[in-house]
Chain A
Amino acid sequence: MKHLMIAAGLLSATSAIADDKPQLTVYTYDSFVSDWGPGPQVEEAFEAVCNCDLNLVGVEDGAALLSRIRLEGESSDADVVLGLDTNLITAAKDTGLFAPSSVTADYALPIEWADDVFTPYDWGYFAFVHNADTPAPANFRELADGDTKVIIQDPRSSTPGLGLLLWVKAAYGEEAQEIWAGLADNIVTVTKGWSEAYGLFLEGEADMVLSYTTSPAYHLIAEEDASKAAAAFDEGHYMQVEVAAKLAGTDQPELADQFLEFMVSDAFQQIIPTTNWMYPAVTPSSGLPEGFDTLIVPEKSLLFGADEAAAVREQALSEWLGALSQ
């Protein structure tokens, strides 16, 4: 172990000498940095303009990302964190580790965005995805009354799972627990994360799976397969807004600001739709890629404010557990 550490120390030392450009470290979730995510293209595009070395570090998912930052505290190597969502903003601000930013843009979000710390870079609506040739219920009550089978993710271990929890809460308030009790016999199973759920859905294990309204765009654009659709629910769809912020302890504050500005520019935003499969926060001048126009657009957008989301989460979770543990 000791030898390994020495070896690794030497390795990192030599790489530091070889590179005298300033380095900007951005922590994000793993699927962002993967070869199929936005990471590689974003790195190339930013390094072309910044005369710096962009170091993307992937951490499992948004929630794990925030935990990593809290674990590292003020001595974190990260200059920027990219990949939290509105449900995590309050907890993130409470740490006092994030610094305000002055970035503004002409956002294409269906809601007003006013946060002095976090800058949005993409967003989407949660939705149940189904095979286009089978009918889908029009709302949660219809789903609960019918025998359509769904697979969902656990709100204790997955971001979409938490999104669904807040979706039902935002749409039904006091009646949320009753809705969940009605849904209990429609839920085939609850998975740890999105990948298990979506994989099981594709295997035919359920009629619908919790995902995003943009999921059918992947099948349409990347696989030329128009067989998937998202079900439009008339009580509205809960949103996920993904955000980034600069850390207060960064040693590259100017570079971090430059990255956040770059993040809301065309160069970054046009990469998002077909790599992260979400809507860009600012519509690039080239518009949305072909295929996105086929997606359903919810009539009503639901979203708790950051503080509200943090406040209702605990109660919504215990209602969910109570209704589904019978």
Chain B
Amino acid sequence: MAGRAQPVSPRPGIGAAALVAALILGTLAAVALRAETAGGFGPADWAALRFTLTQAILSAVFSAGLAVPVARALARRRFRGRRALIALLGAPFILPVIVAILGLLQVFGRAGWISDILGYFGLPPIRIYGLHGVVLAHVFFNLPLATRLILQAWQEIPAERFRLAAQLGCNGIAMFRLIELPMLKRILPGVLAVIFAICLTSFAVALTLGGGPRATTIELAIYQAFTYDFDLGRAALLSALQLTLTAVAALAALRFSRGDGFGAGLDRALRRWDGGAPAIDAFWIIAAATFLLLPLASVVISGFAGLFEMPAIVFRAALTSVIVAAASTAILLMLALPMATAVATGRYGIVELSGILGLAASPLVIGTGLFILIRPLANPTALALPVTALVNAVMALPFALRILVPAARDVVTRNGRLALSLDMGRKTFFIRVLLPRMHPQICFAAGLGAALSMGDLGVIALFADPQIATLPLQIYRLMGAYQMQAAAGGALLLLLLSMSVFWLLDRGGRWHAEA
């Protein structure tokens, strides 16, 4: 096994992974070394850790659990508007946190739409604030991602397997047990780990929806340590705790998600013969769409008036954001493709682990660490945009890997032996076989990366220069200046831009998405 020949070289991927690990751990070390006192945990930190873990686990379980029936329904059904719906489902994920909070509460809040309807029937408003509110918000953010990841795995099952199963007379239950369940077992641990890691670093969402200091997360403690206490040792220690928790979750996920794929297919159009229960599928699709699109509708409605009130500077910020997103996407693909390839050749779980750490790294720690590292060499403010693009790429890397790795693994196992027997060069295999076969996944990852970078405030606030601002930063500035309506307009502009970028990149590679 150790000396087995591989059709592609894992070396560039290992290099990229080392680079990412160096960035995440290096910035953490920079912060720790700059500390004046050694940090320690207090009782409040343990309470924060308990709450952080509880909400992250619940959020991951509910997001992934609900995504399974939604993805199954979307995989089985073909209907008009399906493409648009799938693309729109990506939207919650890319909204800036503050916009998403306002949108969610416009629907689910005390004075929200649902409470209004309840009030019409003489019922009290819903109580959204508490642990359930935190989980609801995190499901709002992550259900779409989980659905897309699971849907993609569903669509990667060769159409021939379903044809064969139908020929053998499998009913819906048998088909689920024989084909779909093994697929879910392979994909779900990774999905759970990614969402767990995202929720681990939640701060503003958890605090606001949690209704008060009961909902204190580790990320809040890091923020407090950085700004109000200037206790860098404690910040570094807490950040290390987040990284460790994520690493444990990621390793567990990698361990449980082993298993063989479905082998090669002929890329035929998918046809399913187990057409039962359309009503159930319709229920899941409508329920998910309503849940996810209502808050988006509120963002659109409140933003519409502000769209025409925005000063020109907002449009300049939008252009800056597009440029940053383009750069960030390029960096993302340069890191993610070699890394996914390396993972696909086996034995490189450590590469995948280094990729997932980007999620758990506190943006504050990465930003401050980079600031400490860059300062002796150059003016950090002058580097605000390149640094933002780089950090956004590292933050999007875990998602890109979840999208790319299963596909890369399939290509290597299906086509690797043939390529070796043909004595095909490693570079040729990468360019002529791997890249074309992974086209849809690459486009999806690029679209997601670009949209994420567009919506993320990232580290720009730490490096900000009054003359340069991204759109999310400009939205925060408008809000800070009482201009809530113009800010809502900016949020709508951001939503439209992110969705367009996502749609443009992703549709290039949509697979089995025929309406």
Contacts and interface: CB of A to CB of B under 8 A. Distances in A.
Contact of B220 (A67, A154, A324): A154
Contacts of B209: 189
Contact of B227 (A64, A188, A199, A324): A64
Interface string B361-387: 000000010011011011101110010
Given A8-B382, A63-B228, A64-B227, A277 B211 contact: no
Contacts of B106: 203
A8 B102 contact: no
Interface residues of B, number: 59
B445 to A, nearest CB: 21
Contacts of A59: 462, 464
A205 B111 contact: yes
B212 interface: yes
Interface stretch (B10-18, B141-149, B200-208, B243-251): B200-208
Interface in B195-226: 203-204, 207-214, 220, 223-224, 226
Contacts, number: 166
Contacts of A64: 226-227
A37 B203 contact: no
Contact of A277 (B378, B379, B482): B482
Contact of B480 (A30, A162, A222): A30
A138 interface: no
A199 B479 contact: yes
Interface residues of A, number: 63
B378 A12 contact: yes
Nearest to A37: B481
A198 interface: yes
Nearest to A57: B381
Interface in A1-30: 1, 4-5, 8-9, 11-12, 30
B313 interface: yes
A56 B462 contact: no
Nearest to A28: B466
Contacts of B213: 154, 190, 320-321, 324-325
B110 interface: yes
A154 B214 CA distance: 12
Contact of A195 (B109, B111, B129, B480): B480
Contacts of A30: 461, 464, 476-477, 480
Nearest to B209: A189
Interface in A195-233: 195-196, 198-200, 202-206, 215, 218-219, 222
Contacts of A91: 230
Contacts of A9: 378
Among A8, A30, A277, max chain B CB count under 10 A is at A8
A320 B216 CA distance: 13
A36 B477 contact: yes
B34 A71 contact: yes
B196 to A, nearest CB: 22
Contact of B207 (A60, A162, A190, A195): A190
A33 interface: yes
Given A58-B466, A66-B230, A325-B212, A5 B207 contact: no
B44 interface: yes
Contact of B224 (A33, A157, A200): A157
Contacts of A31: 477, 480-481
A5 B378 contact: yes
Contacts of A321: 44, 213
Contact of A203 (B98, B109, B230): B109
Contact of A34 (B34, B204, B386, B477): B477
Among B230, B368, B390, max chain A CB count under 10 A is at B230
A238 interface: no
B514 interface: no
A323 B374 CA distance: 43
A115 interface: no
A117 B377 CA distance: 31
A35 interface: yes
Contacts of A58: 464-466
A325 B212 CA distance: 7
Nearest to B313: A35
A149 interface: yes
Contact of B371 (A37, A71, A202, A320): A71
A289 to B, nearest CB: 15
Contacts of A202: 484
A300 interface: no
Contact of B204 (A5, A192, A203): A192
B483 interface: yes
Contacts of B383: 4-5, 8
A72 B368 CA distance: 11
A191 interface: yes
Interface string A70-87: 111000010000000000
B230 A67 contact: yes
Given A39-B466, A324-B213, A325-B214, 14 more contacts: A5-B374, A5-B383, A12-B379, A30-B464, A31-B477, A31-B481, A58-B466, A162-B228, A187-B211, A189-B210, A203-B109, A205-B105, A277-B482, A325-B213
21 contacts: A5-B374, A8-B378, A8-B382, A12-B379, A30-B461, A34-B466, A34-B481, A37-B481, A58-B466, A63-B227, A67-B226, A156-B223, A189-B207, A189-B211, A190-B207, A192-B204, A192-B207, A196-B208, A199-B102, A200-B101, A205-B105
